[in-house]
Amino acid sequence: MAFDPNRKEAELQAQSASWDLSSVAKADPTDVPVVDVGPWFASGADTDLHQAAETLSVALRQVGFHQLVGHQLPDHLTAEILDYTKRFHQLDAATKQAILMDDPGWPVGGVGYLPYNHHKLPRRSTPNSNAAFLIKRDADLDFDANRWLPDGALPGFRNAVESYAEAISGLARRLLPLYATALSLAEDFFKPAFDDPFWRLRLTHYPTADDTSPDDPSSNETSPGDPSPNDAVFGISPHVDTTFMTLLLTDGPGLVIYSHSRQCWIEVPVLPGSFIVNSGELLRQWSNDVVLSTRHFARNPSEGDRYSVPFFYNANADYVMECLPSCHSADNPARYPPISYRQSQGVVQGE
């Protein structure tokens, strides 16, 4: 059966509407595994790789999320991108709206400024109480294809975004042998699938609960039949990602995930210097449901503004992902047709 992205999106929307979101618990210390790649990055030794892969294997199969530490990205780089994220969103509305995402006059969709209270990424009937700046790259798109602020609007912004994008994409590529090992594959198994990967970087602002649309309070949108924003306001509405992996940098708590072991929603703690990493729908299907794609949403529980920078990492846009050889057998045949990321477009990710 061929993959139908519109049908898949409809399924995800129906699933999210059925989830009970009435209560959120604090995470226990063992709820979200901590994967430390520091020893492996330092030594390159198989023993260190396998030790980290054992923890990742548990995270992939039982949780869908983990905390990544020991990644070697410099603190000044992560601090810089969070600072520029804040400074970007503090710009006046007219400056940001000049580079609106999905502007008919711009040849590339899905890049630029996404205003507050939008119904995209993920696409839901209730608005997402955040604003974002997005860029993306693949074999056919370079940095110049994205929408950027005019010269002088925020000096250093583009250079900081490009530098961080190169660094985080390099880290994601460096993690591929770890994922292969965790899935009982050869260390270099994923290399040809990611020689020119498709990725998206998002610089997100979550305003305080009483300031849901800082640029224009009159722009709060609800569709007929929607609950009022006070009844159901999410920074990012409940969803699952569509990625191979998502690496999230954030300046504070606000991510809520569903714990399969506890059968409840839990708040993900933020470890200093860590990334929160999760797998998505494409890796779940690629692995024949061995890997979890865990539902989650975002909110801003603090009295101040919250900023986050998720990086959505996927295989080459046209690479056809056939069921991983370690994830199917005669007794457990492949459940999904081979598919590329480009064929799956229409299903989009949030945080």
The residues, ordered by sequence, that sit 6+ positions from 205 with a Cβ below 8 Å of its Cβ are 85, 86, 89, 130, 131, 132, 305, 306, 307
pLDDT tens, the chain, 351 aa long: 444 556 666 666 676 667 677 789 999 999 999 999 999 999 999 999 999 999 999 999 999 999 999 999 999 999 999 999 999 999 999 999 999 999 999 999 999 999 987 666 555 566 778 999 999 999 999 999 999 999 899 999 999 999 999 999 999 999 999 999 999 999 999 999 999 999 999 999 999 876 656 775 444 443 333 333 333 467 788 888 989 999 999 999 999 999 999 999 999 999 999 999 999 999 999 999 999 999 999 988 877 899 999 999 999 999 999 999 999 999 999 999 999 988 877 544 454
Residue indicated by tokens 């999210």: 16
Q: Show the beta-strand stretches assigned E in 93-189.
A: 112-114, 131-137
Copy the structure tokens of residue 225.
């039949």
pLDDT digits 0-9 by tens, 128-158: 789 999 999 999 999 999 999 998 999 999 9
pLDDT tens-digit profile of 257-307? Answer: 999 999 999 999 999 999 999 999 999 999 999 999 999 999 888 778 999
pLDDT of residue 219: 45
The pair of three-digit structure tokens given for residue 254, joined into one six-digit string: 């606000």
Q: List residues bridging with 135 in a β-sheet.
A: 201
- Total-model pTM: 0.90
Q: Which helix (H) or strand (E) holds 320?
A: none
The alpha carbon torsion through 150, 154, 160, 166 (nearest 10 deg) reads -20
Q: Distance between CA atoms of 299 and 233, rounded to whole angstroms?
A: 8
Q: How far apart are the first and last CA of the chain?
A: 30
What is the model's pLDDT at position 13?
67
Q: How far apart are alpha carbons 173 and 221 in whole angstroms?
A: 39
Q: How far apart are CA 24 and CA 293, in angstroms?
A: 19
Superfamily for the 5-344 domain: B-lactam Antibiotic, Isopenicillin N Synthase; Chain (2.60.120.330)
